[in-house]
Amino acid sequence: MPCPICEELFAIPAEGFDAFQTDFFLSRLTEPLETGSSSCAQILSRVLEARTCDLHPMVKLTSYCSDCDKVLCDACFDECHQNHRLQRTKNAAENFREEFKNRRLSVTKTEALKRIEELSQSKLKLGGNTTKLRENVQKRRENIEELLGKHTRLLLQDVDSEELRLFSEHESLSKDYELHLANLKSFDIYCGEIMARGSPDDVCCAMTNLKRRAGELATKQDSLKRLKSPQYSLDFREADLEEFFDDEFNIIGTIPGETTF
């Protein structure tokens, strides 16, 4: 059968429960309850005042041995503790209460106030640090946005400059063809007028200039034929920023931190 206090197994005597050793502490505790003559506070006070020795169940505890750290009865004192430092339990209890009270107030309260002050200062410091961190993150974002804006403007300027250059080349070549066409048309008209309305003398006199001019136009025509139409090829090549698009990479930065005590 298990003990209700320590749960250690023990055997019930053959004579029954009445054969167990009497627990005087419980007897004194339950006796007033059975008669209904005292309150719980009175019963507890009476029992504590009448606490007896484990070695001498019928003798009250009266003294405290500082050397052995034990509460004794007079019989224990006579047997083993005559040369030890002793004091009455009432006096020892008062000393212990005062010691505990002073220690609790001086140590516990002081440590608590110290920790509260430390936590308060740590909180203020943390607030200042996080404010500075937010400012740094915002500044970093602004710098990156400014850099992105600058690079974007430079690329757009390059596009505008290249567009202007290519358009100028295209325009110049177009004008050369248009001017050559105008010269051919003018030459055809002049030749037609001379051949249709000119006198034989006019035709003969103009022939030298017509041949020379025809040769010039033919040379110009050959040079224009050798010119190939320009093939314009513009492209945009993205910068290699693959690592920046990684979900685990933050282009702004990181906040490494730890808590120390």
Tell me the per-residue pLDDT of 86-126, one tens digit each, with 9 for 90 and over.
888 888 888 888 777 666 555 556 777 888 888 888 888 88
For residue 103, tell me if it sits in a domain: no
For residue 21, tell me if it sits in a domain: yes
Report the percentage of the chain scoring pLDDT > 90. 9
For residue 33, tell me if it sits in a domain: yes
The pTM score is 0.43
Token pair, residue 17, equals 């429960």
Q: Where in the sequence is the domain holding 14, given as residue range(s)? A: 1-50
For residue 14, tell me if it sits in a domain: yes
For residue 2, tell me if it sits in a domain: yes
Among residues 154, 126, 134, 155, the alpha carbon closest in space to that of 252 is found at 134
Query: What's the number of domains the chain is made of?
Result: 1
For residue 6, tell me if it sits in a domain: yes
pLDDT bin (cut points 50, 70, 90) of residue 255 is: confident
